[in-house]
Chain A
Amino acid sequence: MTTTLTDATPPTSSPVTQEDSDRLRQQAQGRSRLGSVAYHAFMVVVSLVVLYPAIWMVFSSTKPHAEILGSVSPFSPNASFDNYLTALQGIGGVSFWTFVWNSTFVAVVSVIATVASSAVTAYAFARIDFRGRGLWFAVMLGTLLLPFHVTMIPQYILFQRLGLINTFTALLIGNFLATSAFHVFLIVQFLRGLPRELDEAARIDGAGHLRVFTSIILPLLRPALITVAIFVFISTWNEFMGPLLYLKRPDLYTLPIALRLFVDQTTTSDYGAQVAMAVLALIPVAIFFFVFQRYLIDGVATQGLKG
């Protein structure tokens, strides 16, 4: 900032010699280089503090559990993958891979169902002029702020009456019915940014809404749908409350409640195996983050800006 100011101000009328301006520029550059070093030094320290839990997690998962306590250093001369072997043994006769499969199944179906139902809903809100649209849109935004605890107990009773305890249906049904206002809203915002001329031209040529939606809007929505898909995957993968309520048989457990069972079952001091299992459970999220971080960050940013 200081550099731009000094660069921008050499006024032709003032009696500044070439020497003076050279000296000023050098000083400014020196100052900004120093500033740059200080800036990066500070940011690197902040990054290390922020990333410490992640680093600690990865290194601790390779330590014998006796060494996890009593030291700050992430390194251990006795590092091994024993904790992972313990974690991979599974719990109570159920293989670790069963939990992985359950989590994957629930996450993949949730992604497909939420993307489809949210896109259809968002199209109605953003592109169809029907009576009552304003009201329903306001209602939808209201559910964005509603604590889900108020619906949790009756939903549980409903699903129990329908015999859906110990089924994935209880976890998945909401995804087919666009109950996540956050994702609907994200797609609505994206749709509002698309020029209306395209679909209006198609409408005038006689295409119905279904046609416009499937052949014009859906292809254009791709980036928004990818963003929603990633968000849904990560949030479903981490979801704890739903599986805790509806899945009572270990062979149906998703990873988060399997982790909880593991914590309850292992002796409290075996943090090594617990952390190893925690690492394994986060691997898909980490992969998604590394591959799609741009979509994630842009998605979050638009959410707040246009809200």
Chain B
Amino acid sequence: MTTTHPPATLTAPRPSQRRARMRETIAGYTFLLPWLLGFFLLTFGPMVASLYLSFTDYDLFEANWVGLDNYTGLFSDPRYLKSVQVTVTYVLISTPVKLVAALLVAMLLNARRRGLGFYRSAFYAPSLVAASISIAIVWKAMFVDDAAVDSFLQIFGIDTGGWVGNQDLTMPMFVLLALWSFGGPMVIFLAGLKQVPTELYEAAEMDGAGAFRRFLTITVPMMSPVIFFNLLMETIGAFQVFGSAFIISGGTGAPADSALFYTLYLYIRGFTDFRMGYASAMAWVLVVVVGVITVLLFKTSKGWVHYQGDSR
């Protein structure tokens, strides 16, 4: 209705243009209203509130200012330090294991063969349910003493006495659960692989580059944005395991706190002990750590992530 392009004198279109921009801005914020409400009420506001709470001893009844006590207290709390150790170990092991499996299987699926759709679906399905309570129950039932996994290993003369009650085997059990959900990043890798021009591989093959060489010089650089995305999302996700740890350890992090994941301890502190100031401090430490990791990943990504000119 306000056609701006034809006969444009220098003075005339300005007010109408400004009015059009104004209208766009009003329309923009009207459409954005639900999200803005949600952001301020349920995200930003609570973030500020939990930052404040983290300097208090809030217990659902009263909040007294305690300064940095919650933060300094973390470092003398052996259970807190244990939860950090468990979580960091889990992140450092499960993320690479899962991503390597995802990339390798995606490469196997990136071929022209029959039956690929079936494999892709079969591998992808677990990632939809791996974090569910149902699967946590199944996992526990499979890994307890004398259950399926234990019986299987007994065939080879290995008697673990059950993984669930053994503090040395808790971590491998959770890593296997993470590995089981490799289908999520796999599907993303596969979509990325399909966009790598096959001519590149053909040319390299003509030049006598072996499979490993082609992987390093073509697949990895061409896939680096996708690898980066998966690495970021999986790392952040791995910090936040909760439901499966809760069910498998009976809500306590047992045995010997070997399943005391960070978020589980945060929940115990906040909602079992009602030390909500302390739990808020834990939450903020997590946010800062995740933030630092994100920034670091973005910083290093400049060195190894290559975006193509027209990657849309």
Measured CB to CB, the residues of A under 8 A from B are 1, 4-5, 36, 39-40, 42-43, 46-47, 50-51, 53-54, 56-57, 60, 68-72, 117, 120-121, 123-125, 128-131, 133, 136, 139-140, 143, 145-158, 160, 173-174, 176-179, 184, 204, 206, 208-209, 213, 234, 238, 240-241, 245, 255-257, 259-260, 263-264, 271, 274-275, 277-279, 281-282, 285, 289, 293, 296-297, 300-307
Contacts and interface: CB of A to CB of B under 8 A. Distances in A.
Nearest to B109: A43
Contacts of A213: 31
B128 A130 contact: no
A178 B39 CA distance: 9
B108 A43 contact: yes
B38 A179 contact: yes
B42 A177 contact: yes
B95 to A, nearest CB: 15
Nearest to A274: B137
Contact of A60 (B42, B129, B141): B141
Contact of A54 (B49, B126, B187, B242): B126
Contacts of A282: 129, 132, 134-135
Contact of B46 (A4, A36, A155, A178): A155
A176 B34 contact: yes
A57 B266 CA distance: 31
Nearest to B230: A304
Nearest to B270: A153
B35 A241 contact: no
Given A177-B41, A275-B141, A5 B35 contact: no
Contacts of A285: 128-129, 132
A177 B283 contact: no
B151 interface: yes
Interface string B90-101: 000000000000
A257 B232 CA distance: 30
Contact of B187 (A131, A178, A264, A301): A301
What are the 10 tightest A-B residue pairs by CB atom distance, in nearest-first order?
A130-B28, A177-B38, A304-B188, A301-B191, A124-B31, A154-B46, A278-B134, A154-B49, A151-B46, A240-B243
B34 A300 contact: no
Given A72-B148, A149-B266, A259 B123 contact: no
B290 to A, nearest CB: 6
A278 B184 contact: no
Given A57-B138, A177-B42, A289-B128, A146 B287 contact: yes
Main SS at interface, chain B: helix
A107 B195 CA distance: 35
Contacts of A241: 242-243, 267
Contacts of A69: 144-147, 151
Contacts of A279: 134
Interface of B: 1, 3, 21, 24-29, 31-32, 34-39, 41-43, 45-47, 49-50, 53, 60, 105, 108, 111, 113, 115, 118-126, 128-129, 131-135, 137-139, 141-142, 144-148, 151-152, 155, 180, 183-185, 187-192, 195, 202, 205, 226, 229-230, 232-233, 236, 239-240, 242-243, 246-247, 250, 263, 266-267, 270-271, 276, 279-280, 282-284, 286-287, 290, 294, 312
A136 B29 CA distance: 10
Contact of B34 (A72, A117, A145, A263): A117
A6 to B, nearest CB: 12
A152 B242 CA distance: 13
Contacts of A275: 137-138, 141
A4 B286 CA distance: 52
A278 B135 CA distance: 7
Nearest to B111: A39
A149 B43 contact: no
Nearest to B291: A145
A302 B191 contact: yes
Nearest to B125: A289
A160 B46 CA distance: 14
Given A60-B141, A128-B28, A154-B50, A293 B121 contact: yes
B133 A240 contact: yes
A123 B277 CA distance: 39
A150 B284 contact: yes
A123 B28 CA distance: 9
B117 to A, nearest CB: 9
Contact of B236 (A53, A147, A208): A147
A260 B191 contact: no
